[in-house]
Every structure is written in structure tokens, then in C-alpha cells.
């Protein structure tokens, strides 16, 4: 359920994570950290 928090943390553009899967979140995180 923390996906929503992550999405908000990343920003509106990354809101897709909210409706995505943990894998999608991790993948997006990599892009953000890079």
C-alpha cells in the first residue's frame, strides 16, 4: 500500500507507479536514482 507514498514522493510524472506493480516501482526507482 506504500506505492501511493512512493508515487507522491517521485512526483506526478511517476504517478503511474501507484497503479503499477512493485516491479514497476523498483524499475522507476532505478531511473530516478540514476
Name 6's Cβ contacts closer than 8 Å, sequence gap at least 6: 14, 17, 18, 25, 29
The whole-number pLDDT of residue 1 equals 52
CA torsion sign, 23 to 18 to 16 to 5? negative
Which residues form the domain of 24?
3-33
- pLDDT tens across 1-34, in order? 555 555 556 666 555 555 556 777 778 778 887 7
The whole-number pLDDT of residue 31 equals 81
The whole-number pLDDT of residue 8 equals 56
Q: How far apart are CA 6 and CA 33, in angstroms?
A: 13
User: What is the Cα 15 distance to its own chain's centre?
Assistant: 7
Domain count within the chain:
1
Amino acid at each position: 500500500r506504500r506505492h501511493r507514498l512512493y508515487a507522491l514522493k517521485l512526483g506526478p510524472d511517476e504517478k503511474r507507479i501507484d497503479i503499477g506493480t512493485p516491479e514497476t516501482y523498483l524499475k522507476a526507482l532505478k531511473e530516478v536514482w540514476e
